[in-house]
Amino acid sequence: MSQGFLSTENLPFCAGCGHGLIARSIEKALQRLEHLTPLDLVVVTDIGCIGIIDKQFNAHTVHGLHGRSVALATGISMGLSNPRKKILVLLGDGGATIGLHHIIEAAHRNIDMTVIVHNNMLYGMTGGQPSGLTPCGFKTSTMPEGRPDSGMDLVKMVHGIGAAYARRIIAAGDVTDALEEALRVRGFSLIEAVELCPSYGVKFNPGRKLPEITEGAGLAPVLLRNESVEPFHTTVRDNTESLLNDVPVPAVEFGHKLSGKVSIILAGSAGEGVQSTAELLAQAAISCGLHVTKKGSYPVTVGVGFSLAEVIFSTEEIHYTGITGIDAALVTSVEGRDKALARLEKMKSGTIYIDSALYAPGSGAEMVIRDYRAPLGARSASLLCAAHFVKRSGFMPLEALLRALSSSRAGKAVDTDKLEQAVCELEREGGAK
Ligand code: SF4
């Protein structure tokens, strides 16, 4: 078995556990899939006895929080472009109940994965409490008289919402054929495998066999299909391609004098145009043929407090969007200065452009101190500071920023001639300190 999908026959379950029986059928079903190698398989699990099987797989494995395995698998599925890969989610009825909405969403979108819900009708790992899938009459540690109402019908739910394949089986023998069929489905397939936990299920329900427990309790075997539904990634790829074709690619209209990379931060206040200024800088840089990234941070109450933005300009593609060394900081308000203070004080080189009303931080950077708030008003302080930075640093023409501004919504509120004039006056003032 060492060449197979499972690395060992010694599975980590109690003797007689239904999980072991299903695992052996999974191994056989996977072996039947032509061309599927262990490295084409991604096994996703979460908390519960079945979740500890991932270490036994010779495959890619992801072990997540309780109930979140289908959410993780959704992300993996949507990120995969290789149709050879297979995503297999193994979870229990507890995880299925906790993460029910993830399952419903994945089924609704018909996201490509096979989900095997090991329904032993209770939480085995924590002592035999009932789950949402526990059937009527089944006794558990906290319902010693048996569940008085019926459990949820997961198979009907996922079928009703759009899953390509939904099936309930009684896992009392070899279930390889059913698992193989589910694994061959393109799109979302779910198998609810009803089984017994000897340690709690058998203990609390002595002498009862699976057929008798499931009959009349809403757990009869069933197979439901939605024919002709496309897997989500196919639909998304088609739609995204047409959307991307409609996105205008900004034309390169200007040159630049940058060699390498420049990283800047803009530190100001909410409502003073920090984020929109950073976006304008980014657009201007793109129109100069540069690569650029922009990130913003501000409190959850977006209308008050600090507003910080980070922009990286580069002649090369940018693969890491974090800023490790600041080349220039544009500081236009007390709140922005206070928020960025620790980073400003760490600057050993570069330039800090700071409003003259602010206390300048101790730093090894060059200080450019000007009145950025008065000339065009506080709401344009960040824009004026950015325009001054562009003019003074000279790595791209100010005209590129002015062009980006005039074609933006912000351009309606700011007179580009006045902005250019204010920048020239700031330059004339000189006096770098
Ligand atoms: S507690 Fe129950 S579900 Fe868990 S491994 Fe043991 S028999 Fe299986």
For 7, residues 6+ apart whose C-beta sits below 8 A from its C-beta are 1, 56, 57, 58
Which residue, by CA, sits nearest to atom 6 of ligand 1? 14
What CATH architecture is 18-236?
Answer: 3-Layer(aba) Sandwich (3.40)
Q: Is the per-residue pLDDT at 245 higher than 60?
A: yes
Residue (of 266, 182, 172, 248) closest to 210 by Cα position? 172
Percent above pLDDT 90 for the chain: 84
From the CA of 120, give the closest atom in ligand 1: 3
pLDDT (average), residues 2-30 = 91
- Place 433 in a pLDDT band, splitting at 50, 70 and 90: very low
Q: What is the average pLDDT across 45-63?
A: 95
Distance from the alpha carbon of residue 41 to the mean position of ligand 1, in angstroms? 25
CA dihedral (30, 36, 39, 42) positive or negative: negative
Q: Please report the DSSP string for 284-325 in residue order.
A: HHHHTT-EEEEEEE--SSTTSSEEEEEEEEESS--S----SS
Buried b (16+ CB within 10 A) or exposed e, 78-115: eeeeeeebbbbbbbbbbbbbbbbebbbebbebbbbbbb
Binned at pLDDT 50, 70 and 90, residue 247 comes out as low
Closest residue (by CA) to atom 1 of ligand 1? 124
User: How many angstroms separate the CA atoms of 83 and 7, rounded?
Assistant: 24
pLDDT in tens, 157-166: 999 999 999 9
Q: How many Å lie between the centroid of ligand 1 and the Cα of residue 199? A: 6
What type of residue sits at position 177? D
Give distance in angstroms: CA of 8 to centre of ligand 1. 18
- Identify the residue whose C-alpha is closest to ligand 1 atom 2: 197
Return the ligand 1 atom nearest residue 20 CA.
8
- Interatomic CA distance for residues 216 and 155, integer angstroms: 16
- Exposed/middle/buried for 383, CB within 10 Å: 0-12, 13-18, 19+? buried
DSSP code per residue over 171-204: -SS--HHHHHHHHT-SSEEEEEEE---IIIIIHH
3-state secondary structure of 421: helix
Looking at ligand 1, which residue's alpha carbon is closest to its atom 5? Answer: 13
Find the mean pLDDT for residues 151-175.
Answer: 96
Q: To test the ligand 1 pocket, which listed residue (13, 93, 123, 129) has its Cβ within 8 A of the most ligand atoms?
A: 13
The secondary structure of residue 329, as a DSSP letter, is: E
pLDDT in tens, 98-128: 999 999 999 999 999 999 999 999 999 999 9
Mean pLDDT computed over 289-313: 92
Ordered alpha helix ranges (H), 58-191: 69-79, 93-98, 100-108, 154-161, 176-183
Atom of ligand 1 nearest to the CA of 16: 7
**Side-chain half-sphere exposure of 404, counting CA atoms within 13 A:** 26
Protein residue with least CA distance to atom 8, ligand 1: 17
294 forms beta bridges with: 311
How remote is the CA of residue 118 from the centroid of ligand 1, in Å? 11
Instruction: Using most ligand atoms within 8 A of CB, pick from 199, 202, 204, 205 the residue to mutate for ligand 1.
Output: 199
- Ligand 1 atom, smallest distance to 118 CA: 3
Ligand 1 closest atom vs CA 19: 8
| Amino acid identity, position 271 | G
Q: Measured between alpha carbons, how far is 103 from 96 in angstroms, rounded to an integer?
A: 7
Torsion 288-289-292-298 (CA) sign: positive
Q: Are the C-beta atoms of residues 261 and 374 closer than 8 Å to each other?
A: no
Judge contact between 12 and 53, C-beta under 8 A: yes
- When pLDDT is cut at 50, 70 and 90, the band that residue 238 belongs to is low
CB 176 within 8 A of CB 25: yes
Q: Which residues pair with 222 in a beta bridge?
A: 168
The tokens describing 235, both together, are: 């639909």
| Most informative mutation of 11, 93, 120 for ligand 1 (most atoms within 8 A of CB) | 120
This prediction has a pTM of: 0.65
For residue 13, the ligand 1 atom closest to its alpha carbon is 5
Q: How far is the C-alpha of 84 from the C-alpha of 95, rounded, in Å?
A: 27
What CA–CA distance (Å, rounded) separates 308 from 285? 19
For residue 385, CA distances in Å to 84, 247, 352, 370, 421 come to 53, 31, 10, 9, 13
What's the gap in Å between 49 CA and the centre of ligand 1? 6
String of DSSP letters for 208-226: --HHHHHTTTT---EEEE-
240 pLDDT more than 70: no
The residues with which 370 forms a beta bridge, in sequence order, are 355
Distance CA(45)–CA(112), nearest Å, equals: 16
Predicted pLDDT of residue 241: 64
* Ligand 1 mean position, distance from CA 69 (Å): 19
252-256-258 Cα angle (round to 5): 130
229 secondary structure, DSSP code: P
Parallel, antiparallel or unpaired: strands 328-331 and 306-314: unpaired
Q: For residue 130, how far is its CA from the centre of ligand 1 (angstroms)? A: 14
Q: What is the pLDDT of residue 1?
A: 42
- Closest C-alpha among 363, 370, 360 to residue 347: 363
Ligand 1, from 17, 53, 119, 194: best to mutate by most atoms within 8 Å of Cβ?
17
State mean pLDDT over 177-204.
Answer: 96
Give CA–CA dist 179/175, Å, rounded. 6
Pocket of ligand 1 (CB under 6 A): 13-14, 17, 19, 49, 120, 124-125, 197-200
Write out the two tokens for 158. Answer: 């996922």
- Domain 261-429 has what CATH class? alpha beta
- Residue ranges of domains in the chain: 18-236, 261-429
pLDDT at 431 over 60: no
Closest ligand 1 atom to Cα of 18? 8
Helix (H/G/I), strand (E/B), else coil: 3: coil
Taking only the tens place, the pLDDT of each residue in 398-417 is 999 999 999 887 767 789 99
